[in-house]
A and B are shown apart, each in its own frame.
Chain A
Amino acid sequence: MADREVVKVRRLTRWQRIGVAMLILVALGIGGGAVFVWSGYYNVGANRAHLDVTTWLLTVVRDQSIRAHSDSIDVPEFDEDMVRLGAEHYRTSCAECHAMPGGEINPVYEAMLPHPPPLLRAKEDYNSSSLFWIIASGLKYTGMPAWPAEARSDEVWSVVAYLDSLEPQAEQFPTRTFPDPDVPARRDAEGLTFAATENCVRCHGDTDTPPVSTLVPRLDGLGADYMARALAEYRSGERNSGIMAPIAYHMTDDEISELALYYASLDTPESERPLDPDLIATGEQIAKQGVPDDDLPSCESCHGAGRDPDFPGLAGQSARYLATQLKLWAANQRSGSAYAQIMAVAGSRLEPDQIEAVSAYYASLPAFEAETQR
């Protein structure tokens, strides 16, 4: 019995032999892969295209990921105000790489790999949910950045609305013509040395033009101190906005204070005012008395006449802009700065119908008169 065991020859079964062969193949694969990586054979230069198979793989992974992640995103209804805001943001931030719709892409960005695609026909390649997800999240390995203010999906939708509005046949850019010949002249007249003014006027208007969209605040009547604070907070990221952050990023303290004084001296033309008298009356009650039973303080005690100059005036502002901001407060998305912490308490106590009412009330008021020049 013991002798037989000693002379026993172990023979591998068929499956065991296949297993050994597989192990050898895997080891060769890992070794080969390591050699491939360490040798630096693969050319990562942007001036050489990927292998066809790599391009195919990257495209499939990208589109499948976009589809999977955007599948459950509900698309809001688009309107002209969103399109106009989206258009101006596109001009500020997107056109650099993607060119104005129908225009030529800057050869520098054209030399990126992947090339930034022209977006005139973006809506044919991706539905609105996918476009939203791409703009909000960015795309790894492509140079497409994420939206710099995560909480501001409202801003992202305005860009989607703009892309959705593009008609490839028409090839026109649906926004006001620019540069406005008056703007540089007035800038000189006011003694402003700051070139960014035209960038501001484009969206926020001036004495001749109202803001480009009801989603954009008018800047006269806010007060110079408040405006300077708002720009500084956009610049530092304390206040969330993917639209204002890249603009404020370029501004120095001097430019900010110069611009704030300039706008405080303007009287922007009236834009349309809301008409529902019941809503306005409800809003007036909340604005002046608050709702003490719900611990909601009155708006006027901080935003009325005699306010701290760092608190904004609200009169004459667009109802839609006010409601957008109040919803950010209510959702606790605007509590970055010391000032914001104060409003965050009141904002978190606002109900949606109260937001509509106070927004309508302030929009129905004539704007504060321009501050006298200091």
Chain B
Amino acid sequence: MSGTLARTGLIVLVALLLAGCTGTQSVLSPGGVEAERVHLLFWIMTIGSGIILALVVVLTGLALFGSQSLRSRFANERFITGLGLFFPVVVLTVLLVYGLFVMRAGAQSQAPEDGQLRVAIEGELWWWRVTYLDGEGNRITSANELHLPVGTPVELALTSDNVIHSFWAPTLAGKLDMIPGRENTLTVTATRAGVTRGQCAEYCGGAHALMAFHVVAHPPQEFEAWLAHAASPAHEPATAQEQHGAELFQQAGCGSCHAVRGTEADGVIGPDLTHVGGRLSLAAATMPNNSQAFSDWIVNNQHIKPENKMPAYEIFTEEQLDDLSIYLDSLE
């Protein structure tokens, strides 16, 4: 009985552990060319080192408990030279060469072709400013979400003007630091459509753990449509509530930090809100995106993400807060 229980427990445990390896933010379910290489390397290393470990354990056991003739054979000088020197040298050399190949060591970084999409990602405290630079010289600013076309290499220009962050979208590629005063570039190619998640992987201050983002890989045509929508001006207030919310947004000075293209709001200090209602999350992938979350953030942002640069707005009546949130939610 207890044996069955233990076995069931073990199965559950293994299942839980494996569940951690799938999902939206895992190195083990790659969705990009670079991540697939990392994934392959991971399995080569894991399986290879597992085999070698098993070999060492078996040989150690035989050396301790094996027959006298076997043990004298292990004492043979050729055996020691073979497994102790020759084998590690060969394995490590192969791994080194393979590693250099995976890292593309020595390869000239390709200058982006004309007309190719580039994405500038700036690490802020504590969110991501994402600017799409299309082939025609347009700059389309968004935040906390990276949209990519499947199958096309996209160059990401990673910068920071405050502290060191690290851009890590495990399904796309490995980590790359964002260092003040320097532009690091990372070329990624999404291989399958879908939504995955990434986050800052270098401690960058109090709310570091709340600095995440979503990666949305679209089929190419869908991506073009998305980019065209992202470049368009904001949704015009349609209902009385949205209209009232838009007025409050303007009167309360929100536009000094936030831009809503197509309105007077042109601030650049905080995230661009032109299409904020259409994003998958609020506050850098820390909150769901709905009007209730907008209300919570406006009033309680210093509790949700302490020391972020936005003041808490406790000046609105409940009705005003509702209308403002409904307006923001309508900016899809």
Contact = CB atoms under 8 A, between A and B. Distances in A.
Interface stretch (A42-50, A66-74, A305-313): A305-313
B138 interface: no
A342 B267 contact: no
A153 interface: no
A70 to B, nearest CB: 38
Interface stretch (B141-149, B201-209, B231-239, B306-314): B306-314
B256 A341 contact: no
Interface string B224-258: 00000000000000000000000010111111110
B310 A345 contact: yes
A317 B139 CA distance: 40
A297 interface: yes
B268 interface: yes
Contacts of B161: 293
Contacts of B310: 345
B300 to A, nearest CB: 12
Contacts of A295: 269, 309
Interface in B309-324: 309-315
Contact of A292 (B251, B252, B268, B313): B268
Count chain A CB atoms within 10 A of each CB in B161, B253, B311 and give the residue with the most: B253
B256 A342 contact: no
A310 B315 contact: yes
Given A298-B256, A308-B251, A308-B252, A342 B268 contact: no
Interface string A176-201: 00000000000000000000000000
A302 interface: yes
A301 interface: yes
Given A297-B257, A310-B315, A345 B309 contact: yes
Interface in A120-137: none
Contacts of A345: 309-311
A362 to B, nearest CB: 16
Contacts of B315: 308, 310, 338-339, 342
B253 A292 contact: no
B256 A306 contact: no
A212 interface: no
Interface string B65-88: 000000000000000000000000
A344 interface: yes
Nearest to B254: A301
A341 B268 contact: no
A344 B311 contact: yes
B269 A302 contact: no
A10 to B, nearest CB: 72
A302 B314 contact: no
Contact count band on A:
20 to 34
Contacts of B268: 292
B269 A292 contact: yes
Contact of A302 (B248, B253, B309, B312): B253
B269 A341 contact: no
Contacts of A297: 253, 256-257, 267, 269
A302 B314 CA distance: 15
Looking at chain B's contact residues, is the secondary structure mostly helix, strand, loop, or mixed? loop
A290 B312 contact: no
A346 B313 CA distance: 13
B256 A338 contact: no
A338 B310 CA distance: 14
A307 B250 CA distance: 8
Count chain A CB atoms within 10 A of each CB in B161, B251, B312 and give the residue with the most: B251
B106 to A, nearest CB: 38
Contact of A311 (B248, B253, B255, B267): B253
A308 B253 contact: yes
Contact of B256 (A293, A302, A310): A302
Interface string A336-370: 00110110111000000000000000000000000
Interface string B251-286: 111111100000000011100000000000000000
A307 B311 contact: no
B311 A301 contact: no
Given A302-B252, A307-B253, A308-B251, A290 B269 contact: yes
Given A297-B269, A301-B267, A342 B313 contact: yes
A298 B313 CA distance: 17
B114 to A, nearest CB: 30
A310 B251 CA distance: 10
Given A292-B268, A292-B269, A295-B269, A341 B253 contact: no
A310 B255 CA distance: 17
A311 B269 CA distance: 21
A209 B299 CA distance: 42
A347 to B, nearest CB: 10
A210 to B, nearest CB: 29
Interface in A279-315: 290, 292-293, 295-298, 301-302, 306-308, 310-311
Nearest to B316: A338
A131 to B, nearest CB: 38
Nearest to B309: A295
A289 B256 CA distance: 8
Contact of B251 (A290, A307, A338, A341): A307
A301 B314 contact: no
A252 to B, nearest CB: 23
Contacts of A306: 250-251
Contacts of B311: 341-342, 344-346
A52 to B, nearest CB: 59
B253 A301 contact: yes
A301 to B, nearest CB: 3
A275 to B, nearest CB: 28
Contacts of A292: 267-269
Given A298-B267, A342-B315, 5 more contacts: A302-B253, A307-B251, A308-B251, A308-B252, A308-B315
10 contacts: A292-B268, A293-B161, A302-B256, A307-B251, A307-B253, A341-B311, A341-B314, A342-B312, A342-B315, A345-B309
Interface of A: 290, 292-293, 295-298, 301-302, 306-308, 310-311, 338-339, 341-342, 344-346
Closest 6 CB pairs of A and B: A302-B253, A301-B256, A297-B256, A338-B314, A345-B311, A301-B253
